Chain A
């Protein structure tokens, strides 16, 4: 594209120093990421195989694979997203569409979300243990873990979705009102498709936070590395498996690396899928059929 070249720093030594520093900072960040990735691949890739993904762990995880752990992780994520999505969408709609920006109630909801977003995950773990495992009697289970993660993911999900709704121009709402369209039809068929990219971003961010979570799950979904048979079973998530292999199991480092590689691969895949989907959506003018 003509006219879009970067404006170059011209002249003084100070400017050149500035340029060098910013370049260095960016290079350091990228290098850090590549180093981690390289380290994981170097130590973990050798152990990766289809067998590793489906087999059960043996000898406390030193040998064997991560089959049941992948299944437990999927269950925990499914429970947390299935809970967080409707709650988050509902709250985002309330905040963005149904209440005035400055209303006291909306202000309180937002403030509590900000606090919630800043709470350390170990605190969520304790809270989840006290509420879901003990008070509600769910014990150490996939259900307890999933619900605890849902609480953690909610603030992220709600904020991103709310931003998605707010990004829809006011013109569109006026057009719908002037066309005698009901609020619910406007919401579901006009605003929701338009806000979908925000929702997708929220889900991906929430998914990323949930799948990487360890502290909140230790006290809620537990350590059991058997194949779960229902959501009432305890199940070990990927991140906990990595933690356990690295800290508690002498000789478990190899499989810890391989598991971490799987985790990072899943994250990279979901993020790129979301970016791809989001872009397609935007280019097609949020078309829905």
Chain B
């Protein structure tokens, strides 16, 4: 089993229509580990995340400068195969976003795109990934039912299963639990924590307790002079216990108290 891709940013900046929202971020994300991006809203965490699968391409007027790399290759180099990139780097969104199709179709469509056509093979992958997110027993009898009839937490787990079906190396999670009720949130959180070792996971979260529970590494972003900056990154335990920067200390403490 592979241990996840190596992801890094070097002097990465993101601007929308000329307004810089993230400036000069250099950060290496440990392979096969869970990295949490924390910090207040609007400090560029999601923009940072979106660089690594080039979802930034879909935002009109978005400009990325600096380098973002996957296993040493520049993600924004001209001629990069974006489809191939997105196969290696999966993404989970804040709002669960299953297709308005059946549960089975949700999982099969991306696989068919990948060239998996045999019925038996598709069935096997569907069962494996659904079991992997603990959904198989809940939905095995209703795979033909609309995915949007599932609960929010089930939908999010389906989205995780759908992303994992492509066997990515990196999984980007943009506040994957924030739209869910506490119980579903806990289930999805455990699921993401369980990906450690197999995938490189990056998770944006506003829930510091969650970051503390699941992150191996943590990076703290803050808004300075109107644009997002990386203030400090360190192994999660260290960052929370003895932050070096005063801003980090205040944020971590403030959110605790």
Contact = CB atoms under 8 A, between A and B. Distances in A.
Interface of A: 100, 168-169, 171-182, 185, 189-190, 193-194, 284-289
5 contacts: A169-B97, A178-B91, A180-B86, A194-B99, A288-B105
B159 interface: yes
B101 A286 contact: yes
Interface string B80-112: 000111110011010101111110010001101
Interface in B112-165: 112-114, 144-149, 159, 162-163
Interface residues of B, number: 35
Interface in B52-68: 53, 55, 58, 60
Given A171-B93, A287-B144, A180 B84 contact: yes
Contacts of B95: 171
A185 B144 contact: no
A130 to B, nearest CB: 43
The interface centre, meaning the residue of B87, B91, B112, B113 with most chain A CB atoms within 10 A of its CB, is B113
B177 interface: no
A173 B97 CA distance: 9
Contacts of A180: 83-87, 110, 113-114, 166
Contacts of A174: 55, 58, 93, 97
B169 to A, nearest CB: 13
B84 A185 contact: no
B203 to A, nearest CB: 15
B97 A285 contact: no
Interface in B149-202: 149, 159, 162-163, 166
Nearest to A283: B146
Given A180-B85, A180-B166, A285-B149, 12 more contacts: A171-B93, A171-B95, A173-B58, A175-B98, A177-B55, A179-B86, A179-B90, A182-B83, A189-B105, A190-B99, A194-B100, A288-B101
Contact of B101 (A169, A181, A185, A285): A285
Nearest to A282: B100
Interface in B12-57: 53, 55
A100 B90 contact: no
Contacts of B90: 178-179
